[in-house]
Amino acid sequence: MSTKGGALRLGTGGEFDRLRAIFASLGAAGRGLGDDCALVRIGARTLALSIDLSLEGVHFRTDWLSFREIGWRATAAALSDLAAEGAQPLGVLVSLAVPENRHPRPGNASPAVQIMSGVGAVARSVGAHVLGGDLTRSSRYLVDVCALGVARRPVRRSGARPGDGVWVTGRLGGAGLALAALLAGRRPPAPVRRRFVRPEPRIAAGAWLARHGARAMIDVSDGLAADAGHLAAASGVRIELALERTPCWPGVTPLAAARSGEEYELLVAFSPRFRERDARAFRRATGLPLTRIGRCLPGRGIRMTDDGRRITPPGGFDHFPGR
């Protein structure tokens, strides 16, 4: 979860209680906090900036991922925030911390070089560049990525209105399926593992959605229900999600898909004028499905139903559970 750009209204959870306390302590020094990116108006365009930290033992494990994959995932997370604003990436800055002599591999490039090769690969995939950074020694691997982009019409979390439809790109649950296999000591099938280790920031999708009138948008990093909660809080609406409509990765139940984090698909609110024919146009342009899974209503929070039966929304990822 980022602490950049947007309204001070966030969803529930220990992590976000801490963020609210931090925002309050900043007072006048804080400005526009709580969205996917910081947004700075420069002439006719807006500079979008996001920063995302990946720490060994919290966000990744070196026995699960290659160093190149660690660099890719960390950078994709930051770039995904740009996608959620409808921004076009310019480049990334990377602060990298690596242990000394912990993974000596004669004849191979150092872990730092391999991590940065992954950073460069995902940056190139979206037309961005590596602009610089910092390097230091640490007891654990750490990759901190700042992504910079520009947008003519940034889409914030706070624009949804009662009556809007709620849509999601792609399919959900693949990352959760891979994580479950890894935690059980199994190697996930190749397509599922790729979904986990090489997530694709939805830059082209975000730009299309912004051009076609998206009112509010967020990337699905904490889980569908949790991120819908952030969008609902920022917009001051209640979001009702129909679980049975959730587009799922093969072998994943809708409830598991709604819980799965680090999916990096886009959750977007559109006016009622946006229909299935528009979703078909989106798929022709991007190659991704766009599925209507809910609606915005007056009120607050999240309501989730399964074939009309109300259920408790599953919790998402929280760095500070129970705090």
Do 291 and 170 lie in one domain? The reply is yes
Q: pLDDT of 50-100, one tens digit each?
A: 999 999 999 999 999 999 999 999 999 999 999 999 999 999 999 999 998
Strand partners, 39: 48
With CA atoms as reference, report the closest residue to 50 among 173, 163, 219.
219
Among 99, 133, 151, the domain-final residue is 151
Sheet hosting strand 38-42, strand order edge to edge: 38-42, 45-55, 142-151, 88-98, 129-137
Residue 76's domain spans which residues? Answer: 35-151
Do 50 and 146 lie in one domain? The reply is yes
- CATH number, position 79: 3.30.1330.10
Do 233 and 144 lie in one domain? The reply is no
pLDDT at 318 (0 to 100)? 45
Do 60 and 140 lie in one domain? The reply is yes
The string of DSSP letters for 43-90 reads TTEEEEEEEEEEEBTTTB-TTTS-HHHHHHHHHHHHHHHHHHHTPEEE
% of the chain exceeding 90 in pLDDT:
80
Distance spanning both ends of the chain, measured CA to CA: 16
Confidence band for 314, pLDDT divided at 50, 70 and 90:
confident
Residue 75 lies in a domain: yes
DSSP 8-state secondary structure symbol assigned to residue 298: S
Do 188 and 226 lie in one domain? The reply is yes
Domain count within the chain = 2
Do 175 and 198 lie in one domain? The reply is yes
Residue 11 lies in a domain: no
Residue 322 lies in a domain: no
Which pTM does this prediction carry? 0.87
Over residues 6-12, the mean pLDDT reads 50
Do 176 and 39 lie in one domain? The reply is no
Residue 257 lies in a domain: yes
Among 115, 133, 151, the domain-final residue is 151
Residue 163 lies in a domain: yes
